[in-house]
Amino acid sequence: MWPLTLFPLRPSRLALGALALGALLSACERATPVPGVVIQSFEAASETLNVGQTLRLTWRTEGASACTLEVTPVAGGAPAGTTYEPDNCAQGSLDHPTTDAGRFEATLSALGAAGGRAERSLTFEVVGDADGDLEAPTARFRVLPGDGPLSFVFEADDAPTGRALRWDFGDGSAAEGARVTHRYAAPGDYTVTLTVEGAGGSASASQPLAARGERLVLFDGSDLEAWERVAGGEANWPVEDGAFEVLPGARVSENNLRTKETFGDFRLHLEFWVPATPEGTPPQARGNSGVYLQGRYEVQILDSYGVTLTGADDAGAIYGVKDADVNASLPPETWQRFDITFRAARFAGGRKVENARVSVRWNGVLVHDDVEIPRHTLLGDPEGPEDGPVVLQDHGSRVRFRNVWLEPL
């Protein structure tokens, strides 16, 4: 097969005033495919940015043992380039700061253990006057699960360079930076504050945080003591080699399992394995299962490897609401994971006053970011103020699960 080179069409210059800001993004691939080394995706999160903003770059590769990401100016007059060496070549992201106007090229190079190489590039243009940027800063942030009980990751939204970002965690501790991790010494209710300082002034934002330290192990590889059949009776899915496997019933959801305990807000970790299916198998029959939050809201489990997400029923979808922002699926018969942060719907006076919300990391990739769920999903229990169980769906496919734990929030 001959090497293929794609060249971007150069957009025409935008007419800009002194304060006009914008960006044009185009992508091109400059790679000779080598067996065993594949760059599956290399993307920028935004099509517009101005001087002082950060550009998030994300990637997924296959077969890479090492990689570099280089950002260089396309034309003269701009500063020297920047080279990154990501720790995670398989999939990851980084935020590249923009301090000067100009046109730049970002190139991801992936190297295989046997010497194979693949490369993909994209170009972007940063427009604006850094010296004249006196806009007042904004302060927004998100809270993500950390690596254990009482651990959280705090991430500022759209944090530009050249501005101080200071965190107050509400327990007498503080830190600086756009993305920081903090572990609380004890469970409790805290108020976290981010303060951003820039040339145009300062701004602060605060969020309440309920840190709960108890981690409930729902499956440790030995037995299904924490589970029961939704239809009644003891959990009957087979357990083998540290995992348990769906035991299909005669019809969809006939043999669902649920936790014996019920929960309100929580963080859930589970790992799953979908079987390979013959070519031509209908999409919804390829390793279909799901995890229902409070028994009401399904996060879809399916073999969607290599599929373009187009609806609301592929792997990682909040079923019937929206597909994942990114297809982070791994090949079938590969262990994958969901890390889910769930906030239950709120009720007052017998009526719902706030919808449920969920964030999902799929194999480490954020695919749902604090998404509002307006209703219960197909086959889910009706919404209500009561806590609910975690439900694993029997959809006729022998999907496996392992390493399941939950932290109430």
Judge if 4-132 and 216-408 fold alike in CATH terms.
no
pLDDT given for residue 20 in this prediction: 36
- pLDDT score for 23: 38
Task: Please give the structure tokens belonging to residue 389.
Answer: 């169980």
What pLDDT score was predicted for residue 299? Answer: 97
| Nearest residue to 28 via CA among 5, 59, 12 | 5
Residue written as tokens 């981010």? 194
CA distance 211 to 189: 6
Tell me the pLDDT tens digit for each residue of 349-367: 989 999 999 999 999 999 9
Q: Which CATH class is domain 216-408?
A: mainly beta
pLDDT of residue 124: 84
Domain ranges of the chain: 4-132, 141-211, 216-408
Residue 8 CA to chain centroid, in angstroms? 29
Residue with the two structure tokens 């496997």 = 245
What is the distance between the alpha carbons of residues 131 and 116, in angstroms, rounded to a whole number? Answer: 44
Residue with tokens 């990401």: 69
Count CA atoms within 13 Å of residue 18 on its CB side: 4
The owner of tokens 């998100």 is 142
Question: What architecture is the 4-132 domain classified under in CATH?
Answer: Sandwich (2.60)
- State how far the alpha carbon of 47 is from the alpha carbons of 85, 125, 154, 353, in Å: 24, 10, 25, 35
Under 8 Å CB-to-CB from 202, ≥6 apart: which residues?
137, 195, 196
Contacts of the segment 25-28: beta carbons below 8 A, 24+ positions apart: 25/122, 25/123, 25/124, 25/125, 26/122, 26/123, 26/124, 27/120, 27/121, 27/122, 27/123, 28/121, 28/122, 28/123
The topology (CATH level 3) of 141-211 is Immunoglobulin-like (2.60.40)
Say if residues 116 and 27 touch (Cβ distance below 8 Å): no
Residue 161: the pLDDT is 56
For 205, the token pair is 């934002």
Give me the pLDDT at residue 53, please: 77
For residue 324, CA distances in Å to 55, 222, 300, 358, 362 come to 21, 32, 10, 12, 9
Residues of the chain with pLDDT under 50: 1-34, 130-134
pLDDT in tens, 199-235: 556 788 888 887 876 788 999 999 999 999 999 999 9
pLDDT at 5: 41
154 CB-side CA count, 13 A: 29
For the chain, the average pLDDT equals 83
Residue 51 confidence (pLDDT): 72
Q: How many CB atoms lie within 10 A of CB 111?
A: 20
Token digits for 127?
């427009």
The 8-class DSSP code of residue 275 comes to -
